[in-house]
């Protein structure tokens, strides 16, 4: 078993002097997994705080500002509260699946986090089918939602889960096709390779018109994929209680909640990597300082996360038939035409490069 964890070569290289390679590999994997789990928790908590602050500013409120400086510890306190709460459940729930569901959701988003290149060489798992892996993993999360909704033996949860299934299966298509449009330029599915291509201009510039169309489709489908407003049919508060996680409490609810925000981060991070050059700085201004790539990657990602929050606090929720109309009658045909346009552009070498 050998998985190349290319971020760790410097740190773990010297361990090989006095340990067998297998032991070093295991230590490496455990430490990196712990690092990603920490990142996951911190990122999730602060995305929740950001959502609440942004929502407050959109609604001319102030938002949480009591716990810690300017409310920075608010979500930490919320998480502590959720940890201390009792885990309740329905009597007739399918206990095994009911307990399993949150882990499906959270593990799928944690796995997706592993393949992102945060900066040059800071990437846990540089797989050569990167984008494909991300698309595949992001659709595993819906199994957790379906299981959670079905096994909690609650009609609201079931309806929410079914809606989520419909939605994810439909919009999965648009995400895949819009990323495929960009892959026509890069010619590679590997994320580090995709960023390498963008040294001559971010893909949204290189691919100009079809790339912008693909980006718009990607953002719409990505918002739908994460079950966020205006596509939050799965947990439409006014119709279904809390949707698929109605029956969950305490830490299991927190897993669903965190996973939703991490998924939002993942969607934004894919968009950053594929459309906006990942950790590359604009016009290469900080090319000599590679660790600043983390800053650029996170900055671009958080701008896109903000865009998704902007969507959420602007648009009203779609009805289920409108949701499917949007996907099958608008996004999908446009996407297919867009791929053909992009193919022609790549074929005739009409991409913009500097």
Partner 1 sequence: MSYFSEIYNGIKTLLTGMGVTGKYFLHSRKGAITQQYPDNRDTLKMFDRFRGEVVMPHDENNEHRCTGCQKCEIACPNGTIEIIWDRAIEEETGKKKKIIDKHIYHLGMCTMCGLCIEACPTDAIKWAQNFENSVYDRTQLTRVLNKPGSKVKAGVED
Between helices 95-113 and 21-58, what is the axis angle to 10°? 90
Q: Which of 310, 320, 328, 337 binds partner 1 (CB under 8 A)?
A: 310
Residue 218's nearest CA partner among 135, 117, 290, 104 is: 135
Nearer to partner 1, 131 or 309 (CB): 309
Closest contact distance (angstroms) between CB of 63 and partner 1 is 8
The stretch among 11-19, 54-62, 70-78, 338-346 that binds partner 1 (CB under 8 A) is: 54-62
Tokens of 176: 């895949």
By CB under 8 A, residue 328 contacts partner 1 = no
Helices (H) then strands (E): counts for the chain: 14, 0
CB of residue 206 to partner 1, shortest distance in Å: 23
- Which among 190, 167, 169, 179 has a CA at the least distance from the CA of 214? 179
Identify the burial level of 193 via C-beta atoms within 10 angstroms of its C-beta, where 0-12 means exposed, 13-18 middle and 19 or more buried: middle
* Binding flag, residue 337, partner 1 (CB under 8 A): no
Query: Percentage helix, strand, coil, to 5, in the chain?
Result: 75, 0, 25
Q: One symbol per residue from 81 to 120: x for binding partner 1 (CB under 8 A), - otherwise; what is it? A: ----------------------------------------
> 3-class SS at 12?
helix
Tokens of 349: 């070498």
Single out the residue of 203, 195, 40 nearest to residue 120, CA to CA.
Answer: 195
Which region among 52-60, 137-145, 204-212, 294-302 touches partner 1 (by CB under 8 A)?
52-60
Q: Which of 296, 270, 260, 305 is nearest to 160 (CA)?
A: 260
Question: According to the binding rule CB under 8 A, does residue 321 interact with partner 1?
Answer: no
Closest CB to partner 1 among residues 54, 127: 54
- Residue 26 or 62 having the CB closest to partner 1: 62
Q: Alpha-carbon distance 106 to 140, whole Å?
A: 10
Query: Under the criterion CB under 8 A, does residue 334 sit at the interface with partner 1?
Result: yes
Cβ atoms 206, 177 nearer than 8 A? no
**In the complex, minimum distance from the CB of residue 33 to partner 1, in angstroms, rounded to a whole number:** 38
Q: What is the DSSP letter of 26?
A: H
Binding track, positions 59-78, relative to partner 1; x by CB under 8 A: xxxx----------------
Q: Based on the shown chain and the rule CB under 8 A, indicate whether residue 341 belongs to the binding site for partner 1.
A: no
* Element housing 99 (H / E): helix 95-113
Tokens of 81: 């509260």
> Least CB distance from residue 219 to partner 1, whole Å?
11
**Does 56 interact with partner 1 (rule: CB under 8 A)?**
yes
303 binds partner 1 (CB under 8 A): no
Size of residue set near partner 1 by CB under 8 A: 15
- Mask of contacts with partner 1, 202-241, x by CB under 8 A? ----------------------------------------
Residues at the contact surface with partner 1, assessed by CB under 8 A: 54, 56-62, 310-311, 313-315, 330, 334
């Amino acid at each position: 078993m050998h998985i190349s964890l290319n971020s760790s070569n410097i740190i773990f290289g010297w361990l090989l002097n006095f340990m067998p390679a297998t032991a070093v590999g295991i230590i490496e994997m455990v430490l990196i997994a712990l690092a990603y789990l920490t990142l996951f928790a911190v990122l999730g908590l602060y995305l929740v705080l950001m959502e609440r602050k942004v929502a407050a500013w959109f609604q001319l409120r102030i938002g949480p500002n009591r716990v810690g400086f300017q409310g920075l510890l608010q979500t930490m306190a919320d998480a502590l509260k959720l940890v201390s709460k009792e885990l309740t459940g329905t009597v007739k729930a399918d206990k095994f699946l009911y307990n399993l569901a949150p882990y499906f959701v959270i593990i799928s988003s944690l796995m997706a986090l592993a393949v992102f290149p945060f900066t040059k060489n800071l990437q846990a798992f540089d797989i050569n089918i990167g984008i494909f892996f991300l698309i595949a993993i992001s659709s595993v999360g819906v199994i957790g939602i379906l299981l959670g909704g079905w096994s909690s033996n609650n009609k609201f949860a079931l309806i929410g889960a079914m809606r989520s299934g419909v939605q994810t299966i439909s919009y999965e298509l648009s995400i895949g096709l819009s990323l495929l449009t960009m892959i026509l330029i890069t010619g590679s599915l590997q994320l580090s390779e995709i960023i390498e291509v963008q040294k001559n201009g971010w893909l949204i510039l290189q691919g100009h018109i079809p790339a912008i169309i693909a980006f718009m489709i990607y953002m719409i489908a990505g918002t739908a994929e994460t079950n966020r407003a205006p596509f939050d049919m799965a947990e439409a508060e006014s119709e279904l209680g809390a949707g698929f996680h109605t029956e969950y409490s305490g830490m299991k609810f927190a897993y669903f909640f965190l996973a939703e925000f991490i998924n939002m981060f993942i969607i934004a991070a894919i968009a950053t990597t594929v459309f906006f050059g990942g950790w590359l700085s604009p016009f290469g201004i900080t090319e000599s300082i590679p660790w600043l790539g983390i800053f650029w990657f996170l900055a671009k990602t958080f701008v896109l996360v903000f865009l998704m929050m902007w969507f959420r606090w602007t648009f009203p929720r779609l009805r289920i038939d409108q949701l499917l109309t949007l996907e099958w009658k608008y996004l999908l045909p446009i996407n297919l035409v867009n791929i053909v346009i992009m193919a022609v552009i790549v074929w005739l070498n009409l991409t913009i490069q500097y």
